[in-house]
Amino acid sequence: MAERRTLYPPIEPYETGRLEVGDGHSLYWERCGTRGAKPVVFLHGGPGAGCSPDHRRQFDPARYDILLFDQRGCGRSTPHASLEANTTWHLVADMERLREMAGHERWMVYGGSWGSTLSLAYAQTHPERVTELVLRGIFTFRQSELDWLYVKGASEIFPDKWPAFLAPIPPEERGDIVAAYQRRLTGSDRAAQVEAAKAWSKWEAETVTLLPNPHVIEEFTDDEFAVAIARIENHYMIHKGWLEEGQLIAGATKLKGIPGVIVQGRYDCCTPPVTAWDLKQAWPEVELHMIADGGHLFSEPGITDALIRATDAFAR
């Protein structure tokens, strides 16, 4: 077996800034790598997670001009944890503003988890702007995907972790757990909001790694991080991403002619492999790499290896 690829060494941005996108939102953005090299936009997960320094390291900095940004309401963008004017289609429009700001006619689009959702929504709206797609941990807001996480599915793989997710919600409200969480995450009781946010975010942290990872759980249960990701994720889940049922799978016909790679962990308990498989059936040209020892996160060795090989191949 060939030696697995790892992340590129740490780098710092060569430029940072903020972009006012209207509705009171100000987006933090940064550019890394080599100005004028192959343009790529990185779309983080969540929604609501924000970018990290390791996200920059998935691309050869000598061959890529990398634009990363914190989506509305999260990371260094303001206002923090805001749900106002925060939908999939607002973010698609934000990407076009960022592309124009950077002076790119076309660019590669790279996203994992929720970032894969936003990548597909953008590429199906603006296929003429996309040179390639690299996607990980496919999620498309179908009802079956939502039920897997919040009704029945992951709860049967993590039965010992599920009670902690249910704990903030009284038994009489558990018929619609996502709506019950929304009431607490958007309510005026700050203590109840933080309690619900940490339980919501911790449940996700439990499902995203192949093996338990205390560092991931610690990161996800930090008060500020948890409130942003829980409020924004819940907001998107309640509205099913402002997408019709099956829209992004059916819309894959619009991707014909765009080279693409999907990297999917075989044991991804957050975004199960069936969605990546269904997308492959609707988009036959895409390369699907099912990682035999992979879960959900980009940082798992087999996932990282496949992602770096994909970005290196497209750089050539």
Query: Which amino acids are annotated catalytic?
Result: 113, 268, 296
Query: Under DSSP, is residue 108 helix (H, G, I), strand (E, B) or coil?
Result: strand
Distance in angstroms (rounded) separating the CA atoms of residues 25 and 22: 6
Query: Which H or E element spans position 21?
Result: strand 15-22
- Which residues are CB-neighbours of 305 under 8 A, at least 6 positions away? 4, 5, 6
Backbone angles phi, psi at 260, to 5 degrees: -150, 155
Give the Å distances, CA to CA, from 27 to 20, 62, 73, 235: 6, 26, 8, 19
- Which residues are CB-neighbours of 135 under 8 A, at least 6 positions away? 110, 111, 112, 116, 119, 120, 260, 261, 262, 263
Query: Under DSSP, is residue 57 helix (H, G, I), strand (E, B) or coil?
Result: helix
End-to-end CA distance of the chain: 23
**143-150 helix and 177-185 helix, angle to the nearest 10 degrees:** 70
Q: What is the CA radius of gyration of the chain?
A: 18
CB atoms < 10 A from the CB of 126, how many?
Answer: 16
Distance in angstroms (rounded) separating the CA atoms of residues 36 and 109: 16
